[in-house]
Amino acid sequence: MEHVFEHVTPYVGYVYPNETDFAWSQLIVIYPYITGLVAGAFVISSLHHVFNIKSFAPVSRFALLTALCFMFFAPTPLLFHLGQPTRAFNAVITPHWTSAMAAFGYVAGFYLCLLLLETWFAFRADIVAMSKSKTGIMRKVYGLLTLGSDDVSPRSLAIDHKFARILSMIGIPSACGLHGYVGFVFGSLKTREWWSSDLMPVIFLLSAVGSGVGLLIVLYVIASKVRKTEIADDTMRGLLYVLFTAITVVMVIEGLELLEIFYKAREGVETVRELIMGPIWAGMVIQWAMSIFVLAVTSALLVYDVHGKRLVTWLFLSGLAIMIGVLAMRWNVVIGGQELSKTMKGLLTFYPEVFGRESLFVVGVISVCPYVTLWLATKLLPPWEKSKTAIENASKFSLNKQHSVA
């Protein structure tokens, strides 16, 4: 018997002897985090596709690609975490339906298929165009991506649009379901006081929307800077509304959750207090400081009706802040829940591994992967609608060219 790795987690008070071996590590922190980003990004894409909110048009397809690329990596942390990753599909082949976890393969698989389909419908016209304009191997790649459907008549495009819209509509409850489900995995465990809450799925879902919007704001601003294109003021205002709504509701519900724990003051409530003041104090400070920052900034942006460059700067900072805050919240839930012993008489302090299968290094690599994939995906399927200035520039360029030829 080879020992693969061992943890001995230091503790105070009394904890069950088996608890010193930490069951769910930082990989399980980023799993709901990545899933949350997917849900949030998808919601923005849907606001355009389903509700036809025009201000989200510039980022709609980009949001869809973001959701897809992050969804590719949502199950990865789980695979790294499993003791027997090669048996992962046992849960899909022979699901044990009383387990919340058994549904994961189906929920995630369904959602991934839905995202792939919707992406295809949303990009089909572009794919067809590129399969005709590109040369060499890329021409073949795009040819394959058309799946043999190269009809771009107005009627056909209307059908595309209709399908994308329907898929997007199905996608909204699916995205909510996917993330609400992740919250259920934690909230349904009666064993752990810190998890066992009816509010958990709601908290997970709403913070997911917040972090996803934050991600989109950050990516949209960076992408626009890199591409040297204008940042649409309407879009930023739209994202601001969503972010403000999300952070307000999340903070209220998270506050209620804490209030309930301390107001009910069940056995062991002192230990919960010590958990917050002790092992997860830094996480709690980050989570709440970031939340308050986002709430303050978005409120100010709304009150002072800020537009233009100042809006971009402050909303960018808010986006970053909510991403960090939600990551801290995931840590506080997943790690904090286990740091509070089942005995309610002891507290563990988790120290993550730096290298190894379940380490910060792996977490870092997995966290970077979706961004790299997204970058590649935007190369393959440029999601940006051509802005007016770009079109003007292009036409000027072609005019100049014609002149020079003449």
Partner 1 sequence: MNKLPSEEKVTTHHTKLEEEAGTLSRRDFLGFLGKGAACAGAFIGAGAAIGAVEAETGKHAFQQNDAQYEEAVNNPPQIPGYNWNDHQWAMGVDTTRCIGCLRCMEACKMENSVQMDANHHRTWVERYVYLEGSNTALVDSQTDPKNIENAGSETKFRFDDRYRHVKVDKAFFVAKLCNQCEHPSCVQVCPTGATFKSKDGPVLIDTTYCIGCQYCVQACPYGARSFNESRGTAEKCNWCYHRITKGLNPACVEVCPTGSRIFGDRNDPESPVSLFIRNNHVQVLKPEMGNAPNVFYKGTDKEVV
Q: Are 53 and 241 in contact (CB under 8 A)?
A: no
Q: Does 360 bind partner 1 (CB under 8 A)?
A: no
Out of 48, 165, 179, 192, name the contact with partner 1 by CB under 8 A.
Answer: 192
- Residue 400: C-alpha distances to residues 62, 133, 229, 336, 392 (Å): 32, 22, 22, 64, 12
- Tell me how far apart the alpha carbons of residues 399 and 38 are, in angstroms, rounded to a whole number: 43
Out of 345, 361, 373, 385, name the contact with partner 1 by CB under 8 A.
Answer: 345
- Tell me how far apart the alpha carbons of residues 190 and 126 are, in angstroms, rounded to a whole number: 50
Write the burial class of residue 23 (CB in 10 Å: 0-12 exposed, 13-18 middle, 19+ buried): exposed
Q: Does 7 bind partner 1 (CB under 8 A)?
A: yes
Q: Does 124 bind partner 1 (CB under 8 A)?
A: no
- Counting residues that bind partner 1 (by CB under 8 A) gives 51
Residue with tokens 């995202």: 115
Q: Does 233 bind partner 1 (CB under 8 A)?
A: no
Q: Does 274 bind partner 1 (CB under 8 A)?
A: no
Q: Does 264 bind partner 1 (CB under 8 A)?
A: no
Cβ–Cβ contacts within 10 Å for residue 128, how many? Answer: 20
Nearer to partner 1, 99 or 389 (CB): 99
Out of 51, 52, 54, 99, name the contact with partner 1 by CB under 8 A.
Answer: 99
Give the type of residue at 360.
L
Region of 15-23, 33-41, 62-70, 147-155 interacting with partner 1 (CB under 8 A): 15-23
CB of 191 to partner 1, least distance (A): 5
In whole angstroms, what separates CA 56 from the centre of its chain? 18
11: β partners: 348
353: β partners: 359
Nearer to partner 1, 14 or 397 (CB): 14
- Tell me how far apart the alpha carbons of residues 281 and 9 are, in angstroms, rounded to a whole number: 18
How many residues in the chain? 406
Out of 3, 228, 379, 403, name the contact with partner 1 by CB under 8 A.
Answer: 3
Region of 85-93, 176-184, 225-233, 374-382 interacting with partner 1 (CB under 8 A): 85-93
Q: Does 106 bind partner 1 (CB under 8 A)?
A: no
Segment 285 to 314, residues that bind partner 1, using CB under 8 A: none
Nearer to partner 1, 74 or 344 (CB): 344
Q: Does 137 bind partner 1 (CB under 8 A)?
A: no
Q: Does 136 bind partner 1 (CB under 8 A)?
A: no
Q: Are 235 and 55 in contact (CB under 8 A)?
A: yes
Provide the 8-state DSSP code for 354: S
Nearer to partner 1, 237 or 345 (CB): 345
Nearer to partner 1, 297 or 344 (CB): 344
- Residue 284: C-alpha distances to residues 169, 277, 279, 305, 406 (Å): 35, 9, 10, 31, 68
Q: Does 351 bind partner 1 (CB under 8 A)?
A: yes
CB of 201 to partner 1, least distance (A): 16
- Tell me how far apart the alpha carbons of residues 47 and 287 are, in angstroms, rounded to a whole number: 27
- Tell me how far apart the alpha carbons of residues 170 and 173 are, in angstroms, rounded to a whole number: 6
Residue ranges binding partner 1 (CB under 8 A): 1-10, 14-21, 23-24, 78, 81-85, 87-88, 90-91, 94-96, 98-102, 104, 185, 189-192, 338, 342-345, 351, 353
